[in-house]
Each structure stands twice: as C-alpha cells, then as structure tokens.
Chains A and B, each alone.
Chain A
Amino acid sequence: MASLPHPTRRHLLQVLGLSGAGFVIGHFAGSASAFAATLAPDAHQRPDAPLPIGPFIQIGTDDTITVIVRHIEIGQGVATGITTIIAEEMNASWKQMRFETAPLGDAYRRDSAFLGKGVQNTGGSSSIASSWVQMRMAGAAAREMLRAAAAARFGVATSDVTVVDGACHVGAQVASFGSLAEAAARIAPPPPDKLVLKEPSDFRFMGRERDANRVTGRIDAVAKTDGSARYALDFNPPGLLIAVVARSPKFGGKVASFDASAARAVRGVADIVEIDNGVAVVASDYWAAIKGREALVITWDNSQAETRSSDRLFADFADALEGPGAEVRKTGLGRAGLSGDGKLVTADIAFPYLVHAPMEPLNAVIELKPGVSSRITSGFQMPSFDQKAACAILGLAPDQVHIDVTLAGGSFGRRGTLDADLTVEAAQIAKAVNGRAPIKLMWSREDDIRGGRYRPMSIHRMSARVNRGKIEAWVDHTAIQSIWSGTPYLDEGKPDALAVEGADVLYAIPHVGIEVTSPNSPVPVLWWRSSAHSHTAFAKEHFIDIVARDMNVDPLELRRSMLRDQPRMARVLEVAAQAAGWDAALPQGRFRGIAMQKAFGSYVAQVAEIVAKSEGGFAVERVVCAIDCGIAVNPDIVRAQIEGGIGMALSALLHEQLTLKDGEPVQSNFHDYTVLRIDQMPRIEVHIVPSGEAPTGVGELGVPALGPAVANALLCASGKPVTRLPLDLAGAGKPTA
C-alpha cells in the first residue's frame, strides 16, 4: 500500500472498512463482452462500494480538514467538488478545508463500470457521480465520530451534541474539530445503514453559489493565480536530469540505426539510450536535451509505418463504408428498415484527427532504485495502468512502485492512456541509465502535436427514410479507428461500440441501425474531450436538421415530436429554446440552430446564434446552453465547464485539424495547429435545470452539442450542410435566407 505523504500531526480517522453489500452497484467483473453489455444507451458511471474514510479525511490539530481526492484535478473542478461534499456532510467550516490529490493506493481503487475491477481513474465525466455516495457517507461518518468524541468529552449523550461550522456544541460548550480529532480517531465508525445523509433542503454548500467570501469558491484558485500551484512539470527533485526522446516522424516507424557522436558532444548531455519509442537524450537541463536531440542522426525503418496522406486516408475510409458495417445497436429492423415507402435522405460527414494539446506539455518524473523501488510523478488520469506498466518494465512488485499524482495543466483525456505511454518511455529510460538520477521525461509542444494519440478521424454515413411526415428509419455507419482494439476491453472480432458512443438516438424512430467499420492504421488514437460524442453528436444532430429541412419542417418541432418518451431530454431542449428566445424572430443577418445530446448520464441542449459579417462569412456570437446534470454540487463550476467545453468545441469546429502528408503530421505547434483565441469566444449563457437526481457528468458536457448547433444555424443561413470539419465559417459567403 502506498504511504501517504502527510505530516504526523494530522490524525487519521481510521475507519476499518465501511462495508455494506447493499451499496455495491455496477460491479464489473467479467469479460469485455459483459462490459459492453453495460453500455446500454442510458448506462453511465455508477457509484459503487463505500470505502474507509481514513484515507480520505484528515483533520489537523490546527483545525484544518484535508480532503484526499482520489481523482486528478485537471481543471474540471473535482478537487473543489469532492471537498464541498465532505464539508457539507461534516458540517465543517469552509475556510478550514484543504485538499490533496491521492497517490495511487489500494484505498482509492474502485470497481468501475468503465474500466473494470480495482482501478483508480479520472475520466468520462464520472468523478463526482462515482464518488457521490461514498464521499457523503465518509463525511457523515466523520461527523458522527466527532460528535461521539465530543459527547465523551462533555459527558453527555451523542444526541445532545450539535455540529455546526466545524465545531461540536453542547449548550454553551464548544469543541473544535481539531481539538477532537485525536479522540475521534479512536472511535468506531457507525455502520453504513445508520448513517444519515443530509436532505437537499439542508444543504449549506452543495448547490450553492460562491459568495463574496469565496465560500464554495474553487479551492485551488489562490495557488493558480500566484504561481504556487505545483504541477508535475514543476517537480524538481535534487540531481534531476531531463530526458527528451527522438521519435519516428511516421507512426509505426522504428529506429534502424543512429549516430549519437555529435549529440554526445553537446554541452550538458549526460547519456543517450535507445528505447522502444526512439532514442532518448538525457541532459542536465531541457535546453541542452533539445540541442542534443537535434544533433542526433537517426535512420528510420518505415516498413510498418503509416505512409498515407490525409486525402488518401479519407478516401480509404469512404471505401470502407461501402456495404453495411458491424452492427453495434439495432432497433426494429435496423438497416433493413431503410427499405420501404417514402424518401431516402443521406449525407456523409467527415471529421479530422484532433490533438488534445493540453497547455501543460506531457511529462513524467521517475526516480528509480534498480531492483528496489521506484516513484513516478505525473498528472496521470489512469495511474493503475501506469503502475502496472512500470512494474513490468522495472521488474518490481506493485508495492515497490509508488505513483504520485499531481495537478495537471489540462488533459482532455491525453493523460489517460491504457498502455501508459509516458510511463513506458520514462521507465525504459530510467532502467537504461540504471537509475543514476531522477529523470524528468519532457515532451515538447512539437512532440505533442506530432506525437499521435489523436481524437480519431472518421466519416459518418448517415441515412434516413422519411415517409408521410415521419422519420421511419435511421442508420449511422461510421468508419473510424478503434481506441480499444488490442486491449483487454475489446474482445477480438467484436465491433468497438465505444468508438461510436453517443451515436444512439433518443428520438422515437422505429428502425435504427448504429454500425461501425474500423480501418487499421498505426496512427495511435485516443479520447479527446467528450470522446466519441465529439463527432457522433455532430453527425446525428446536424443530420436531423438536414432531414428536417428536406421535410420542410421546423427542426425544433421535429425533435419535440420524437421525444415524447424522453422527459429529461425534452425538458433541457425546451429550457434552451426558451432561454434563447427561439419563438421570437431574429434580426436580419442573425441565424440560430439547436442541438442536443445525452452524454455521461447528463442531458444538454444548446442554441447557437451566428451573425453574418459585412465582409462575408459568419461569426458565432451567442450560445445558450441548458444542462440537466442532476444535483449541481458547485453550480459555478458547472457553468465554467460548459463554457470551456463550448470554447473547445468551437475551436475544433472552426480551426483544428491534424493532417498527414506521406504519414507525417503537417502541423507542429500552435502557429499551424490553430486553436480558438479570445477574440472568437462567444457570449455564453448556461442554465442548470434544477434536479434532485444524483449528480451526473459535467466536465465534457459543453462539447457535443455546440458543433451541430452552429452547423444547423449555418444550414438555416446558407442552405448548405456542413459535411467536413473544420468549417470555414468566415469564408462561408453571404446568407441566402
């Protein structure tokens, strides 16, 4: 078990196992096909078994309460969210709250509907949802133990103790949490079925807006505005050496031979070692490492490499769409429902590779005592996999490999790799230099843009049969590489359902077929913010408007008519439409579009307004969003996440594409992999639909509906569908409507 890096004057409330079989839900223990069965259209992250509270709540004699958060804070606000939940049930005072990120540890592993047994994971907008019950129980248990300690101190019954604002009161007598902590730590916790969780009407923190004293404001706001916040790239253990890796310019290329003589002569270069992914230069500082790398002469074996250019890839993907794909989901007759009376409407919509490109470039620090132990520090989203990979490479047992998880400067999924790509590189380097010094593996921005792990490119071939004013059949056949193939999560020969997550329609259409064909390429692919929803929602929601236009019906009316059995989806649609003033006419030169999606358990709808520019083209000026995410633990963080997701989606819509020429990325840094900047950020209004449901996903929910809402607005303005991203909105001509 990993030891926690905490000072001794904090007293752990050692609760030995709140067990309770009644709380185990969604326990995944089986094959990939059993896992896939959990991916029914309404499946999402589920809370599972409660855990001991000791590793989660630590009370100091200085009266601070430190919440150990088992999810990584990558900007999405989970540190504040988990802290809010604990503070709420404990009846703590906000100003005594602190947080730390948990290292990889047995207490922090969960069974996950997404990744299986015993993993520690942040992803799929699931952190609050998966920790909701357990953190509330942990906070409630801690409160009860403190009450019992106060009761013992004051010689009264526990029922005579009230807990307010971080202190226990018995009449006029008061004892702070800090003064009670040592005694409370020795008290047996109440059994889970005796724990009383608060009613929403009693919430002081959850669901509350941040106030002028910053109560329930982001708990990391000060550190992130004064330069003191520590990320993995900032970690500088004594004796640190920097490593950068020269990797193949083409994906799937291998080192054939290399000449390191000039590189070794560069000032500061300490060592040069070959690893699986290329040639590593180890140096005293980053600048020296980069100059050393530039002096390497490497010959690459490209016999297994991807050598196609993007145009060819898209042509090959289009060819792969001839004929039906593998069936992922079918309603009614599926594809066979396309035969019948009425009219067939079709569209192909193509999406490029996207780079995650979080602002903190990728890095990991590894300390190795060969054969003895290792510590790896990084902004890992899936540290369980990193430990496993490190153990295999270093020949160490799990309890010899400690994984420290830091803040991360963004991730969007890039730091969550099942094959632990960063750790594999770092561990191979450390092993090759025999642990001579702590090594910080650093990726440059060029390494990041050119390094793969892209949101997959795809083509969605959409088909619908319309008969007598109704959509009777709908098929979405997507050509897309599989992220899961080659992992234990996808049975060989089975279609990758997750590759088209979000393609399912909530609309009442009798015959629906969701199909996927997975072409092969050595280009490595990965999630990106909202995973497959980033393209499946676009294809679906834009195609619905294309069909509506063909049917000559209002796209909102068409949606309404098909959502009668989906009350939560229908409700967010109405909230967004109303807030955007859908029924009111827009001034000349303004157009709007609507789109919706269910993702990660939550429901979102957006209306985008575009305005025609005098010089031609359009700009996105206003986005109205409605979200139903169950209880919003921190409403302002929910709004901030939606704003951010909208900005990222707009960036992808207008600017982002990673293209290949002869298999090599064309783009290399932010000057040519262009992303959204402040001048193009629209006005955004977020409406959180009130709900008493348990919290569901938030972090990625701003993304899926934005692209199609804008495309639908443009369809309105120009009559032209969007069939390829990115979209040149500025060059889209003048309105024809």
Chain B
Amino acid sequence: MSFLVNKAARDYHGDDDRPLLWYLREELKLTGTKFGCGVGACGACTVHVDGEAMRACSMPVTALDGRAVTTIEGLQGRVGAIVQATWRALDVAQCGWCQPGQIMTATALLTQNPKPDDTQIADAFAGNICRCATYARIRQAVSAAAAKL
C-alpha cells in the first residue's frame, strides 16, 4: 500500500490494526498529532484524510491506501493559515494539547463551510474536548476566522 503524509509518499508494512496515530507519532516522529483517549472520543488526534477531519487513533494505517493525510505540521493553504493566525491573535491555547486537533477541525469546517452559524460550530466541535475549557475562545476564533474568509 502507499499513501501520502503531508505530501510525502509513504508505505507501511506493520500490524494490520495499528492506528494511524501511532504510525505518525512513533514512525514518522510527527508528534503534533496528540494522543488523548485512543477511542475517538476526544478529538486530540484529529488529522485530515483527503481534506476531511478524521480521528487518527481510530483509523488503522492499512485503511489509508491511496489517500492523503495532512497533520498539523503540514497544514497549508489560506484557510489553515487564517485559522492559526486567529488562534494566536486571540490566545486561544492554554496547555495546548488539544489545540492541534481543534485547529484541524476548524480548518476542515471552514473549508467546507466558510460561514458557519453557532449550531454548526457546536456540532463540528462536539468531538473535541478541551479540559482547559478554552471553548469560549475557540468559538470566537472560528467566528473571527470566518469573518476573514
């Protein structure tokens, strides 16, 4: 099988069931994608697979044949840049552990829907836990980023 990670071609010969999360963190040393729960409940491991927000802890690498994975380290494009800049301007991050996942979720949302309403924002982020409870600023940042798009 072969696939792309941040535009670089990769192949894989490991366990059938090993999640993408551990391949990214341990094989490729891309530690920006974080481990939070391992069961797809917290969103800390959110990456893009062909542009769609997915939980890397719940995807085996073997399911990625022919697909393109983007991690926080490989975030490019206008939407991603505006999201990151807005996150910094509003000082959204506190401990920061969940924030790569939040930023990937934000970028996927705003790429598909540049003007989300409050309900759409809440739905898009329902799977991203922030234990520091930066939720108010996440909402503000998504709205502020949307205003720039």
B36 within 8 A of A: yes
B130 within 8 A of A: yes
Interface of B is mostly: loop
Nearest opposing residue in chain B for A442, CB measure: B35
Q: A226-B32, A236-B26 are in contact. Are A221 and B126 (CB under 8 A)?
A: no
B73 within 8 A of A: yes
Check B15–A287 contact: CB distance below 8 A.
Answer: yes
A681 within 8 A of B: yes
* Chain A positions 221-236 with a Cβ under 8 Å from a chain B Cβ: 221-231, 233-234, 236
- As a 0/1 sequence over residues 646 to 677 of chain A, the CB contacts with chain B under 8 angstroms (1 = contact) are 11101100000000000000000111000111
Query: Which one of A357-365, A456-464, A567-575 is at the B interface?
Result: A357-365
Output the least CB separation between A4 and chain B (Å).
24
* Chain B positions 1-41 with a Cβ under 8 Å from a chain A Cβ: 15, 17-19, 22, 25-26, 29-39, 41
* Chain B positions 117-138 with a Cβ under 8 Å from a chain A Cβ: 121-122, 125-126, 128-138
Check A409–B136 contact: CB distance below 8 A.
Answer: no
Check A359–B95 contact: CB distance below 8 A.
Answer: yes
Q: Give the size of the chain B interface in residues (CB under 8 angstroms).
A: 56
B53 within 8 A of A: no
Nearest opposing residue in chain B for A231, CB measure: B97
A721 within 8 A of B: no
Residue from A220, A286, A676 having most chain B Cβ neighbours under 10 A? A286
Check A224–B93 contact: CB distance below 8 A.
Answer: yes
Check B136–A225 contact: CB distance below 8 A.
Answer: no
Residue from B38, B91, B130, B137 having most chain A Cβ neighbours under 10 A? B91
Check A228–B36 contact: CB distance below 8 A.
Answer: no
Nearest opposing residue in chain B for A671, CB measure: B41
Q: Compute how far the CA of A178 lies from the CA of B34 in the bound complex, rounded to whole angstroms.
A: 37
Check B133–A220 contact: CB distance below 8 A.
Answer: no
B66 within 8 A of A: no
Nearest opposing residue in chain B for A444, CB measure: B38
B69 within 8 A of A: no
Check B26–A360 contact: CB distance below 8 A.
Answer: no
Q: Compute how far the CA of A132 lies from the CA of B95 in the bound complex, rounded to whole angstroms.
A: 22
Q: A285-B26, A444-B38 are in contact. Are A227 and B128 (CB under 8 A)?
A: no
Check A287–B91 contact: CB distance below 8 A.
Answer: no
Output the least CB separation between A356 and chain B (Å).
9
Check B88–A644 contact: CB distance below 8 A.
Answer: no
Residue numbers in A under 8 Å from B121 (CB-CB): 678
B79 within 8 A of A: no
Query: Which one of A28-36, A72-80, A324-332, A517-525 is at the B interface?
Result: A72-80
Residue numbers in A under 8 Å from B138 (CB-CB): 678
Check B122–A360 contact: CB distance below 8 A.
Answer: no
Q: Compute how far the CA of A407 lies from the CA of B91 in the bound complex, rounded to whole angstroms.
A: 17
Q: Compute how far the CA of A77 lies from the CA of B31 in the bound complex, rounded to whole angstroms.
A: 22
Nearest opposing residue in chain A for B134, CB measure: A644
B98 within 8 A of A: yes
Q: Compute how far the CA of A298 lies from the CA of B26 in the bound complex, rounded to whole angstroms.
A: 29
Q: Which of B29, B132, B139 touches A644 (beta carbons < 8 Å)?
A: B132
A186 within 8 A of B: no
Q: Compute how far the CA of A286 lies from the CA of B57 in the bound complex, rounded to whole angstroms.
A: 12
Residue numbers in A under 8 Å from B36 (CB-CB): 359-361, 445, 670
Q: Compute how far the CA of A408 lies from the CA of B131 in the bound complex, rounded to whole angstroms.
A: 13
Output the least CB separation between A303 and chain B (Å).
32
B56 within 8 A of A: no
Q: Compute how far the CA of A224 lies from the CA of B102 in the bound complex, rounded to whole angstroms.
A: 11
Q: Which of A223, A357, A643 touches B136 (beta carbons < 8 Å)?
A: A643
Check A679–B136 contact: CB distance below 8 A.
Answer: no
Output the least CB separation between B148 and chain A (Å).
15
Output the least CB separation between B24 and chain A (Å).
11
B54 within 8 A of A: no
- As a 0/1 sequence over residues 74 to 99 of chain B, the CB contacts with chain A under 8 angstroms (1 = contact) are 01000000001001110111111111
Nearest opposing residue in chain B for A702, CB measure: B133
Nearest opposing residue in chain A for B40, CB measure: A671
Residue numbers in A under 8 Å from B100 (CB-CB): 225, 227
Check B15–A670 contact: CB distance below 8 A.
Answer: no
B145 within 8 A of A: no
Output the least CB separation between B50 and chain A (Å).
20
Check B87–A225 contact: CB distance below 8 A.
Answer: yes
Check A683–B136 contact: CB distance below 8 A.
Answer: yes
Residue from A227, A285, A445, A650 having most chain B Cβ neighbours under 10 A? A227
- As a 0/1 sequence over residues 350 to 376 of chain A, the CB contacts with chain B under 8 angstroms (1 = contact) are 000000011111000000000000000
Check B133–A360 contact: CB distance below 8 A.
Answer: no
Nearest opposing residue in chain B for A236, CB measure: B29
Residue numbers in B under 8 Å from A671 (CB-CB): 39, 41
Check A651–B37 contact: CB distance below 8 A.
Answer: no
Q: Compute how far the CA of A644 lies from the CA of B98 in the bound complex, rounded to whole angstroms.
A: 14
Check A228–B32 contact: CB distance below 8 A.
Answer: yes
Nearest opposing residue in chain A for B98, CB measure: A359
Check B133–A227 contact: CB distance below 8 A.
Answer: no
A267 within 8 A of B: yes
Nearest opposing residue in chain A for B119, CB measure: A679
Q: Compute how far the CA of A285 lies from the CA of B15 in the bound complex, rounded to whole angstroms.
A: 12
Nearest opposing residue in chain A for B18, CB measure: A287
Q: A225-B84, A636-B91 are in contact. Are A361 and B35 (CB under 8 A)?
A: yes
Q: A670-B42, A671-B41 are in contact. Are A286 and B126 (CB under 8 A)?
A: no
Check B131–A358 contact: CB distance below 8 A.
Answer: yes
Q: Which of B22, B26, B128 touches A678 (beta carbons < 8 Å)?
A: B128
Residue numbers in B under 8 Å from A76 (CB-CB): 94
Output the least CB separation between A297 and chain B (Å).
22
Check B35–A225 contact: CB distance below 8 A.
Answer: no
Residue numbers in B under 8 Å from A409 (CB-CB): 34, 95-98
Residue from B25, B30, B32, B138 having most chain A Cβ neighbours under 10 A? B32
Check B31–A236 contact: CB distance below 8 A.
Answer: yes
Residue numbers in B under 8 Å from A358 (CB-CB): 95, 97, 131
B109 within 8 A of A: no
Residue numbers in B under 8 Å from A361 (CB-CB): 35-36
- As a 0/1 sequence over residues 336 to 361 of chain A, the CB contacts with chain B under 8 angstroms (1 = contact) are 00000000000000000000011111
Q: Which of A287, A359, A408, A644 touches B44 (beta carbons < 8 Å)?
A: A359
- As a 0/1 sequence over residues 189 to 226 of chain A, the CB contacts with chain B under 8 angstroms (1 = contact) are 00000000000000000000010001001101111111
Output the least CB separation between A392 and chain B (Å).
30
Q: Compute how far the CA of A641 lies from the CA of B100 in the bound complex, rounded to whole angstroms.
A: 20
Check A287–B133 contact: CB distance below 8 A.
Answer: no
Nearest opposing residue in chain A for B39, CB measure: A669
Check B19–A287 contact: CB distance below 8 A.
Answer: yes
Check B131–A233 contact: CB distance below 8 A.
Answer: no
B108 within 8 A of A: no
Output the least CB separation between A288 and chain B (Å).
8
Residue numbers in B under 8 Å from A445 (CB-CB): 36-39, 42
A252 within 8 A of B: no
Check B99–A225 contact: CB distance below 8 A.
Answer: yes
Residue numbers in B under 8 Å from A684 (CB-CB): 136
Q: Compute how far the CA of A236 lies from the CA of B22 in the bound complex, rounded to whole angstroms.
A: 13
Output the least CB separation between A606 and chain B (Å).
15
Q: Which of B30, B42, B72 touches A359 (beta carbons < 8 Å)?
A: B42
Sample (20) of A-B pairs whose CB atoms are under 8 Å apart: A75-B93, A75-B96, A75-B132, A225-B92, A225-B96, A227-B30, A287-B17, A287-B22, A358-B97, A358-B131, A359-B132, A360-B97, A445-B39, A640-B91, A643-B133, A646-B133, A669-B38, A671-B41, A677-B126, A679-B122
